[in-house]
Homo-oligomer: A and B are copies of this chain.
Amino acid sequence: MPPTPFDRVILGDVVLPDAVLRDGYVAVRGEAIAAIGQGTPPPAASVDDHAGRLLLPGLVDGHMHTSSSTGWPGIEGASMSAAAGGVTTCVDMPYDVPRPVTDAGILREKVAVVEATSHVDMALYGTITKAGGIEAIAGLAEAGACSFKLSTYEYDAVRFPRIDHPTMLAAFREIAKTGLMCAIHNEDQELVQRLTEEAKAAGRTDPIMHARTRPPLAESMADLEIFEMALETGCHVHIAHSSIARGFELAEIYRRSGARTSGEACIQYLCMTEEDLVRLQGFGKCNPPFRSAAEVERMWEAFRAGRIAYVSTDHAPWPRERKRYDGDIFAPVAGLTGLQSFAPLLYTLLAERGLPVTLMALYGAERPARFHGLFPKKGALRVGCDADLCVLERGDFTFDAREIRDREDARWSPYDGRAMHARVAATYLRGACIWDGSAVLARPGSGRFVPRQHRDTYLGEG
């Protein structure tokens, strides 16, 4: 009797970045994809039949904050909702409570927590301190940080500081040596601060003022500063979140001049508008803020033109009470939950705009993995890669925030009640089913730290 060659075969319509294999399968051996096929599957120890469903690569969310509010204990819950949302690789920001990830020692401590408590795999950003800490950059890269994150705006002098120009320049010079990408939170501090003061002084603290005090110009001015330094230093500088098409245009102008520049769109900037801010109040507050409906259309134009690096969530699971609006929109913290809604929403937005589902594999998995140097281990349905899958069931569903798999006070969502054209029917992490459509099967520690795989820069094709 011949040896059974595969451990598991998963059946369904395989969604690749530019094609869909109907009646296909993904065959797993150990933790990796060992074969992809179509038609009668080969023998395997077990068969998971998702016939009629879409087998996508496990999503890679390139931007999230698991530990901004609760510190590293937040990893456990956030990664659980990731599992339930089809996200198998989380790229976590470094702005953690009580201290950010500013050296290899801290990174290694966080890695230990990840490996002990995470439900999905996780790559980690590093950062520097307000005062500098440039000398820790090489060590962070060495220890496996995938990318760096700095900010032009100060939310917290220790956790999330504004990095001034000379320090940022020095950091870019040093990061350039590592080959890693440096993402920037891009808001002009002076503009935002003044407009906020003026709004408060004028007694204007209603929700729309959150958008009015952070106008598009506050973004583009920050974008320009960092890109001119990118041109000077050769560092790959990336807008952590552009809510405006101008950001992607600037990245392209600088690329043409030889700089390594890019920018990502969080999914909210592809569907939410100022009206939603007014409606959701504190629960619609994030930075940058939602823009006009016309700007959303320009964002999709940039998307269709291939100018956007990838789509992410900027997931930040603040406790519900810190998001509540009581007459002062400046009081609640900024940030939205988004991990569990990511896959259904991205599917739905593409469908609503008549765009092919293959773009979901591209912008929700392959490209974020490429930009963070995790590809092709992560982000691909390819032989030899990690057997991470997001299985989608098409149909008419409604997103229900109460179903979020995180601690109770993080079970809120700006998308609560939104019609979705798909739901996550299963999630596989390195060959194991970690979500079966109703329960998270992963346990704390199922997830692993994913170090950056190489140091080549990726800026998109063409």
CA distance A166 to B197 in the complex (A): 11
In A209-237, the 8 Å CB interface with B consists of 217, 220-221, 224-225, 228-229, 232
* Closest B residue, CB atoms, query A460: B462
A123 proximal to B (CB < 8 A):
no
Q: Is the CB of B35 within 8 A of A42?
A: yes
Q: Please name all residues of chain B whose beta carbon is closer than 8 Å to the beta carbon of A166 when the two chains form the complex.
A: 190-191, 193-195
CA distance A376 to B24 in the complex (A): 16
Q: Please name all residues of chain B whose beta carbon is closer than 8 Å to the beta carbon of A376 when the two chains form the complex.
A: 19
Q: Decide if the interface of chain A is mainly helix, strand, loop or mixed.
A: mixed
CA distance A382 to B22 in the complex (A): 13
Q: Please name all residues of chain B whose beta carbon is closer than 8 Å to the beta carbon of A190 when the two chains form the complex.
A: 164-166
Q: Please name all residues of chain B whose beta carbon is closer than 8 Å to the beta carbon of A42 when the two chains form the complex.
A: 5-6, 27, 35, 42-43
Q: Is the CB of B36 within 8 A of A37?
A: yes
Q: Is the CB of B43 within 8 A of A194?
A: no
Interface size, chain A (Cβ < 8 Å)? 53
Q: Please name all residues of chain B whose beta carbon is closer than 8 Å to the beta carbon of A139 when the two chains form the complex.
A: none
* Closest B residue, CB atoms, query A253: B253
Q: Is the CB of A191 within 8 A of B169?
A: yes
Q: Is the CB of A37 within 8 A of B43?
A: no
Binding site for B on A (CB under 8 A): 1-3, 5-6, 14, 16, 19, 21, 24-25, 27, 29, 32-43, 164-167, 169, 188, 190-191, 193-195, 217, 220-221, 224-225, 228-229, 232, 253, 306, 376, 382-384, 460-462
Closest 6 A-B residue pairs measured CB to CB? A462-B462, A35-B37, A166-B194, A42-B42, A165-B190, A224-B224
